Amino acid sequence: MGTYRTISKPSEPILYKERKSKFYGYCFPVTNEDEVKEYIEGLKKEYPTANHVCYAWQMGIESLSYRANDDGEPNNSAGMPIYGQLQSFDVTNTLVAVVRVFGGTKLGVGGLISAYKEAAKLALENATIIKKVLQQHLSVSFEYSEMDIVMRLVKKHQLEVISQELHLKCKIILSIPKSEFMKMFKLLKAHHKLDITLIE
């Protein structure tokens, strides 16, 4: 597993109607729960008449965590159907929120499940889903005289330089696709004058 799927930016809202109730679906890229909180609070401000802002998120790459929230709807009638769509689209670091403005007709649990599921599905279809390569970071320290060797390696293997300090003592931080990591690590290690540290 060298790649994962996520969304590149917040999606435009979509509207799904079911028996006069309006369901507005949104997707947001997230990496922590504080961001989730901000987005949900923002939606509550944007829709002061909304009865419910239900959501689910999935985060992490190699070990996933998730949460589903029904926000006052009957148990498992909103958050879990939304979460199910995150799973079927196979995305992570993503929050899907569905804002419900009640239209006067009760939908029943079955109706709610299918409405929240559909709104989440449409929101994800409307989002820009991208594939990202899993990266591992390495710090390489070396004397200025070794600069040429290091830069040739970087160029030859098209490694991404995240940061560099080039003085008498130099240090660069490289981002390497996980699938290539062991190969590159050994290659760099073979140059005895380079000091290599793995960054967790």
Mean pLDDT of 90-118: 91
Q: What are phi and psi of 65, to 5 degrees?
A: -130, 155
3-132: what CATH class? alpha beta
pLDDT at 115: 95
Residue 84 in tokens = 């199910």
- The structure tokens 């922590």 sit at 32
Record the pTM: 0.75
Topology of the domain comprising 134-199: Alpha-Beta Plaits (3.30.70)
pLDDT at 78 over 90: yes
What is the domain partition of the chain in residue ranges?
3-132, 134-199
Tens-place pLDDT, residues 134-150:
888 889 999 988 888 88
pLDDT at 167 over 90: no
Tens-place pLDDT, residues 13-34:
999 999 988 999 999 999 899 9
pLDDT at 7: 93
pLDDT at 125: 94
Mean pLDDT of 60-89: 92
Angle subtended by helix axes 79-88 and 108-126, to nearest 10 = 40
pLDDT at 35: 94
Do 4 and 131 form a contact (C-beta atoms < 8 A)?
yes
pLDDT at 90 over 90: yes
Do 27 and 95 form a contact (C-beta atoms < 8 A)?
yes
Do 189 and 140 form a contact (C-beta atoms < 8 A)?
no
